[in-house]
Structure 1
Amino acid sequence: MLLVLRQQLKFRSFLRKSRNSPRAGGSTPPPFSSVTAAAAYDLFRGVSGSEDDRLAEEEFLSSRLGVVGAGQHGASPPPPLSSQPGEAPAEDESVLDGARVGAAMACSSSSPGDPRLSLLSECYDLARSGRRRELKRTLHHLVRREGYGSAASLCKSLLDCFGGRDGDVDLVWDSLVEVYARREMPRDALFVFDEMNLRSVSSSADACQSLMHSLRNTDMVWDLYEKIRRPQGILSSSCIHGALLGHLCRHGWMKEAVSLFQDKRGSGELQPCLTVFNAMIAGSSTFVAKSFLSLMIRSGFPPDETTYNSLIQRLSLEGSLEEALALSAAMEQEGMENGVATFNALIYGFCLHRMMNMVWKVVKMMLTRGLSPGYLTYRALMIGHFQSGNVEEGLKLKDAILARGFQMNIITYNILLHSLCEAGRLDEVERLLTEIRRHGLELDHVAYSTLIHGFCKLGETHRALELSRAMATRGIAPNSYNHLSVLLALCGKNLLREARQYLCHLRREARQVDAVLYNAAVDGHAKAGDLNGALLLLGEMMKSGISPTVVTFNSLVHGLCCCGKLAEGRALMAAMVRQGLAPNAVSYTTLLDAYCREGDVGAMVDLFDEMVGRGVAPNTVTYSVIMKGFCRAGQLGKAAAVLKDMHAKGIPADQIAFNTLIQGFCEARDVGMALHLHDEMLKHVRPTPVTYNLLVNALCVSHNLCAAETLVGDLLEKGVRLRKFAFTALIKAQCVVGSPQKAVLLFQNMIQAGFDASVEDYTAVIHRLCKRRRLKDAKVFLNMMLRAGVHPDQMLFDVVHEAFSRGDDRRSMLAWQGKILMSGLPSK
Structure 2
Amino acid sequence: MIRGRPSCKYYLSMNFRNLVTTCTVPLDPPTTSSFSSASEHKNLCFSLVEQLIRRGFFFQAQQVIQRIVTQSSSISEAISIVNFAAEWGLELDLATHGLLCRQLVFSKPQLSEFLYNRKFVVGGAEPDVLLLDSMVSCFCRLGKFEEALSHFNRLLSLNYVPSKVSFNAIFRELCAQGRVLEAFNYFVRVNGAGIYLGCWCFNVLMDGLCNQGFMGEALELFDIMQSTNGYPPTLHLFKTLFYGLCKSGWLVEAELLIREMEFRSLYPDKTMYTSLIHGYCRDRKMKMAMQALFRMVKIGCKPDTFTLNSLIHGFVKLGLVEKGWLVYKLMEDWGIQPDVVTFHIMIGKYCQEGKVDSALMILNSMVSSNLSPSVHCYTVLSSALYRNGRLEEVDGLFKGMLDNGIIPDHVLFLTLMKMYPKGHELQLALNILETIVKNGCGCDPSVILASAEWQTSSNLEQKFEIVLKEISISDLNLAGVAFSIVISALCETENFCYALDYLHNMVSLGCKPLLFTYNSLIRRLCKERLFEDAMSLIDHMKDYSLFPNTTTYLIIVNEYCRQGNVTAAYHILRKMRQVGLKPSVAIYDSIIRCLSREKRICEAEVVFKMMLEAGMDPDKKFYLTMIKGYSKNGRILEACELFEQMVENSIPPSSHIYTALIRGLGMKNMTDKGCLYLGKMSRNGFLPNVVLYSTLMNHYLRVGEV
Length-normalised TM-score, structure 2: 0.45
Length-normalised TM-score, structure 1: 0.40
* More contact order relative to length (CA 8 Å, sep ≥ 6): 1
Structure of larger gyration radius: 2
